[in-house]
């Protein structure tokens, strides 16, 4: 148990929706969510398929602990082939949608094919309908959720949808659920749009059961108490993830103006203290914190914009509360583009939620466009008359809206930094790995994080490895490959459980084991869980190798390999990737050209692949 | 001493731990759809409010029931539904002014908060203290105190 042992398979080309048993043999090897969806993806599509074509498969995947009383049990992942990278995409989200899918009786929703006309899925337990989306197509995420709840007279519906960005193929469009939680990265929303699928609306009444409720609740109580006591948890609750911006500023690892600098002079205007401060006009950015389903951390921010701010002074519809700044958004709309106007950042954040696209990739692409503008490669003729100088808050807010609506220069920004910079003949300006833009950690100052960026299966991503503590202690690459590899495997397991990575503020593998072992059939040891994590990592790698993403793509932009950090604790450093990477391959049991060896495949039970 | 649930909506983060604890206690599964306490979100999540039965002293549901399936637990003060007597006529759901007694199509009976026999699981599960179980005579004490301070100001320390 834990699992519902049922998959809903929808084929949009044929217009069919059928329930089938969950493959428990695979579940025992890959757990659930990210890992199990990777296995389903690998077995259900050709990795060479066009990510925006009907042969791509889009999987909404919960884990065995999703919808249970474990803290942070609201997670689900969207797994598909990503259009931004051409690699496997696995984007994870909280909110309440994932748990609701599970309550309707399904571990997974697998979407195949492409609908002839825009449709949405309406799922209430066993009743599944594929319905025309005419009245919501072309509208925002926020409108879509409101219309579907009203149309079906069901305020309890949970909705995951795409905005116009996803419909029109912004390559980093995301799937947004519950208004402001998102499966944000790698363009999973663009894939949904390519299938003409606007939304999934679900309500479930079936509940989730666990194998041993008494032992499970004991583990839940103990692990919740650990979180309650944890200082890291307390910081997340009180300050949100944006607490990181002050750490990165002090350390000198905060990418600024497209990685020209690693410390930003305006940080204190966009940090958690700024969000909490009441201005002379009585306005405070932060309203409250908010939890995802089951979460006893509640790092989510609910904020609002000063109603006299230029962005909304004539737009009363945005005088609302909505999802506020978390670290990656604050970094990508602040230091990375040189803007220090907290209301402008918050407005741009609203745009990403309302129209459904990834703030990290948007910020990275806008930063690259700003550099091209400063270089004179593009001018106001290209940018709809907007001055794309670093630090211009209007450039941020206008382009955020244009990108969300896929209008004017927003269409170019929607390509992502790699394609945009290639188009203008300056690929060196694009800061990305495998086509995906960086989260807010400079690879020259945080060496282990940099190795993780270079080797991440979905391109530059901060959520698939955690070498943070080691990096803060030592600014060189020495000894980093091991914790990088180990954390990648550990996190692959956590991402497959249905719980949130942020619980690691207080939990180790043992805390996950206790809950998984009490909830799921079979005996789940630490070794088994970590080996599942390693198996997942390797299968993602195999998917990518078959898709044509190889060792040559395990790299960092030239700027991080050659241009030394100008300030901070790592002043003078460049990335040590060239020395870390061979050691990493060796630790992984991969050949020099980054392929899992026969022995490695055999050890992980992956002989049939590779 | 009777106790009652005290709800401080300002502390609620909408995590639904209470809904899961309630449904586990009463159905054996984590199933918010069958929870007797509900969290309502307003203004894109800027405010979340838990709501459940307040156990009226003169309970409309109890008086409306034609088969006397609802009785008062004299220890906890909770109005409890006897499922073996309940015929699922739903008259109580019409009588209740607050909407806190509801029909469960899974078993054809109505369900409402029964204070878990005196140890409410929602309060136990709530991580922020938004739901507590306190002396029924003093449910307003903390709120009165905070308003006393807001009205007259907090004394400055000596």
Is the pLDDT at B158 greater than 80? The verdict is: no
Pair (A463, A424) in one structural domain? no
ipTM entry:
0.95
Residue A549 and residue A348: Cα distance in Å, rounded? 32
Backbone angles phi, psi at A411, to 5 degrees: -65, -40
Every domain of chain B and the residues it spans: 1-52+119-158, 55-112
Across the interface, whether the CB atoms of A207 and B15 are under 8 A apart is answered: no
In chain A, residues with a C-beta closer than 8 Å to the C-beta of B14 are 290-291
Residues paired with residue A9 on neighbouring β-strands, in sequence order: A18, A110
Q: What is the CA A458 to chain-centroid distance, rounded?
A: 10
User: For position B136, what pLDDT does the model report?
Assistant: 84
Residue B156, pLDDT above cutoff 80: no
Q: Are strands B3-7 and B38-42 parallel, antiparallel or unpaired?
A: unpaired
A349: nearest Cα among A318, A313, A325: A325
Nearest to A207 among B17, B30, B44 (CB): B30
The structural domain count of chain A equals 3
Instruction: Looking at the structure, tell me whether residues A358 and A464 fall in a common domain.
Output: no
**Chain A residues touching chain B at CB-CB below 8 Å:** 67-69, 71, 96, 99, 103, 156, 179-180, 203-210, 213, 217, 224, 228, 287-296, 298, 300, 302, 304, 320-323
Does B33 sit within 8 Å of A321, measured CB to CB? no
> Is A85 inside a domain boundary?
yes
Residues A346, A489, single domain; the answer is: no
CA angle A580-A583-A584, nearest 5°?
80
Residues A285 and A377 in one domain: yes
Residues A37 and A178 in one domain: yes
- Asked if pLDDT for residue B108 goes beyond 60, the answer is yes
Are A10 and A128 in contact by the 8 Å Cβ rule? The answer is yes
- All residues of chain A having their beta carbon less than 8 Å from the beta carbon of residue B126 are none
Spatial contact of A507 and A223, defined as CB atoms under 8 Å apart: yes
All residues of chain B having their beta carbon less than 8 Å from the beta carbon of residue A203 are: 33
Q: What share of chain A is helix, strand, coil (3-state, %, to 5)?
A: 40, 15, 45
Domain contains A240: no
Residue A308 corresponds to which tokens in the numbers above?
Answer: 């006299």
Assess contact for A32 and A73: CB atoms under 8 A. no
Q: Are A338 and A391 in contact (CB under 8 A)?
A: yes
Which of A430, A450, A481 is where one domain is finished?
A430
- Give contacts of B121 with chain A, Cβ < 8 Å: none
Min distance B99 CA to chain A CA atoms (Å): 15
Q: Do B1-52+119-158 and B55-112 have matching folds?
A: yes
Residue B157 binned pLDDT confidence (cut-offs 50, 70, 90): low
What is the spatial distance between Cα A408 and Cα A395, in angstroms, rounded to a whole number?
13
A279 in the same domain as A176: no
Number of CB atoms found within 10 A of residue A545's CB = 18
CB contact under 8 A, A207 and B29: yes
Q: Are residues A304 and A388 in the same domain?
A: yes
> Do A424 and A446 belong to one domain?
no
What is the CATH topology of the domain spanning B55-112?
Answer: Alpha-Beta Plaits (3.30.70)
Enclosing H/E stretch for A469: helix A468-473
B78 burial (CB, 10 Å; 0-12 / 13-18 / 19+) is: buried
Q: Are residues A426 and A460 in the same domain?
A: no
**Dist. CA A526–CA A489, nearest whole Å:** 12
Contact residues for A297 (Cβ-Cβ < 8 A; gap 6+): A71, A72, A227, A233, A236, A237, A291, A500, A502, A503, A505
Average pLDDT over every residue of B100-106: 96
Nearest CA in chain B to A179: B44
Is A246 inside a domain boundary? no
In-domain check, residue A374: yes
Whether A219 maps to a domain, the answer reads no
Read out DSSP for B66-85? TT--EEE-TTT--EEE-TTT
Q: Which sign does the torsion angle of CA A424, A426, A431, A432 carry?
A: positive
Q: Which among A69, A209, A323 is the nearest to B21, CB-wise?
A: A69
CATH of the domain at A404: 1.10.569.10
Pairing status of strand B101-104 against strand B109-112: antiparallel
Claim to verify: residue A378 and residue A447 sit in the same structural domain? no
- Domain contains A214: no
Q: Which of A203, A236, A264 is the last residue of a domain?
A: A203
How far apart CA A123 and CA A6 sit, in angstroms, is 14
Contact assessment for residue B48 and residue B71, using Cβ atoms and an 8 Å cutoff: no
Which of A291, A322, A506 should we substitute to test contact with B (largest number of B Cβ atoms within 10 Å)? Answer: A291
pLDDT digits (tens, 9 = 90+) for B109-146: 999 999 999 999 999 999 999 999 999 888 888 889 88
> Any idea what the CATH number is for the domain that residue A453 is in?
1.10.599.10
- CB-CB: which of A203, A217, A294 is closest to B16? A294
User: Are both A307 and A418 inside the same structural domain?
Assistant: yes
Alpha-carbon torsion A517, A518, A523, A525, what sign? positive
Query: Is there a contact between A290 and B16 if contact means CB atoms under 8 Å apart?
Result: no
Average pLDDT over residues B63-91: 97
Name the interface residues of B facing A (CB cutoff 8 Å).
Answer: 13-17, 20-21, 23-24, 27-34, 43-48, 106, 125, 127-128
- Nearest CA-CA partner of A32 in A3, A52, A58: A3
User: Is A111 part of a structural domain of the chain?
Assistant: yes
Q: Which residues of chain A have pLDDT under 70?
A: 610
Chain B hits for A295, CB-CB cut-off 8 Å, are 13, 15
Q: Does the beta-carbon distance from A180 to B44 stay under 8 Å?
A: yes
Domain extent, residue A92, equals 6-203
Residues 6+ apart with CB under 8 A from A541: A457, A590, A594, A596
Asked whether residue A139 is assigned to any structural domain, the reply reads yes
Which residue is associated with the tokens 């579907």?
A148
Report CB contact under 8 Å: A68, B20.
yes
Is a pLDDT exceeding 80 seen at residue B155? no
How far, CA to CA in Å, does A302 sit from each of A92, A291, A350?
Answer: 20, 10, 11
Beta strands in A138-223 (DSSP E): 158-161, 175-177, 181-183, 197-203
Tell me: domain B1-52+119-158, CATH 3.40.50.10490, correct?
Answer: no
């Amino acid at each position: 148990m834990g699992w519902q042992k049922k998959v809903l398979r929808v084929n949009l080309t044929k217009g069919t929706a059928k329930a089938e048993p969950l493959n428990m043999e695979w579940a025992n090897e890959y757990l659930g969510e990210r890992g199990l969806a990777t296995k389903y993806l690998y077995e259900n599509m050709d990795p060479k398929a066009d990510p925006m074509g009907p042969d791509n498969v889009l999987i909404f995947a919960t884990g065995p602990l999703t919808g249970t009383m474990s803290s942070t049990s609201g997670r689900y992942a969207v797994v598909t082939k990503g259009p931004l990278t051409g690699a496997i995409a696995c984007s994870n989200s909280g909110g309440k949608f994932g748990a609701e899918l599970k309550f309707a009786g399904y571990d997974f929703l697998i979407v195949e094919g492409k609908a002839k006309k825009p449709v949405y899925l309406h799922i209430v337990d066993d009743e599944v309908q594929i319905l025309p989306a005419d009245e919501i197509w072309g509208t925002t995420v926020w409108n879509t959720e409101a219309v579907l709840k009203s149309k079906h007279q069901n305020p309890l519906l949970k909705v995951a949808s795409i905005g116009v960005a996803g419909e029109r193929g912004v390559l980093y469009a995301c799937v947004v659920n519950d208004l402001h939680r998102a499966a944000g990265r790698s363009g999973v929303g663009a894939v949904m749009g390519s299938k003409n699928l606007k939304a999934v609306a679900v309500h479930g009444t079936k509940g989730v059961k666990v194998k041993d409720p008494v032992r499970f609740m004991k583990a839940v109580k103990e692990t919740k108490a650990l979180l309650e006591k944890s200082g890291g948890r307390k910081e997340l609750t009180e300050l949100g993830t944006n607490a990181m911006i002050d750490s990165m500023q002090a350390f000198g690892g905060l990418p600024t103006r497209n990685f020209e600098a690693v410390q930003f002079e305006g940080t204190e205007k966009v940090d958690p203290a700024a969000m909490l401060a009441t201005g002379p006009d009585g306005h405070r950015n932060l309203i409250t914190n908010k939890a995802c389903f089951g979460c006893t951390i509640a790092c989510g921010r609910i904020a609002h914009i000063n109603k006299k701010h230029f962005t909304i002074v004539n737009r009363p519809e945005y005088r609302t509360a909505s999802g506020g700044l978390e670290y990656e958004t604050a970094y990508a709309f602040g230091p990375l583009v040189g803007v220090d106007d907290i209301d402008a950042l918050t407005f741009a954040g609203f745009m990403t939620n309302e129209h459904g696209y990834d703030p990290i990739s948007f910020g990275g692409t806008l930063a690259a466009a700003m550099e091209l503008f400063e270089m004179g490669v593009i001018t106001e003729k290209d940018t709809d008359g907007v001055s794309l100088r670093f630090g211009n808050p209007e450039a941020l807010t206008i382009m955020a809206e244009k990108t969300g609506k896929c209008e004017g220069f927003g269409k170019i920004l929607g390509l992502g930094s790699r394609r945009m910079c290639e188009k203008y003949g300056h690929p060196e300006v694009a800061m990305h790995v495998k086509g995906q833009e960086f989260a807010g950690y400079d690879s020259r100052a945080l060496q282990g994080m940099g190795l993780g960026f270079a080797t991440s299966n979905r391109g530059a991503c901060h959520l698939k490895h955690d070498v943070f503590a080691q990096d803060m202690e030592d600014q060189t690459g020495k000894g980093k490959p091991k914790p990088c590899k180990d954390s990648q495997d550990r996190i692959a397991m956590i991402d497959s459980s249905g719980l949130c990575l942020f619980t690691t503020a207080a939990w180790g593998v043992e805390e996950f084991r206790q809950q998984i072992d009490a909830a799921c059939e079979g005996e789940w040891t630490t070794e088994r869980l970590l080996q599942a994590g390693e198996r997942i990592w390797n299968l993602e790698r195999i998917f990518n190798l078959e898709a044509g993403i190889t060792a040559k793509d395990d790299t960092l932009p030239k700027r991080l390999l050659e241009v030394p950090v100008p300030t901070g604790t790592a002043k003078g450093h460049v990335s040590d990737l060239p020395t870390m990477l061979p050691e990493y391959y060796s630790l992984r049991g991969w050949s020099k050209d980054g392929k899992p060896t026969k022995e490695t495949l055999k050890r992980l039970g992956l002989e049939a692949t590779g | 001493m009777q106790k009652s649930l005290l709800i401080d909506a300002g502390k609620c983060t909408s995590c639904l731990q209470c809904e899961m604890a309630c449904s586990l206690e009463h159905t054996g599964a984590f199933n918010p759809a069958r929870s007797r306490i509900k969290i309502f979100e307003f203004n894109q999540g800027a405010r979340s409010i838990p709501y459940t039965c307040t156990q009226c002293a003169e309970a409309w549901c109890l008086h409306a029931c034609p088969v006397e399936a609802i009785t008062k637990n004299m220890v906890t003060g909770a109005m409890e539904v006897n499922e073996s007597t309940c015929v699922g006529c739903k008259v109580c759901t019409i009588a209740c002014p607050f909407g806190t007694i509801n029909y469960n199509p899974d078993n054809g009976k109505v369900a409402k908060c029964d204070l878990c026999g005196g140890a409410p699981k929602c309060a136990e599960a709530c991580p922020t203290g938004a739901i507590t179980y306190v002396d029924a005579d003093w449910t307003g004490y903390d709120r009165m105190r905070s308003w006393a301070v807001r009205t007259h100001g907090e004394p400055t320390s000596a």
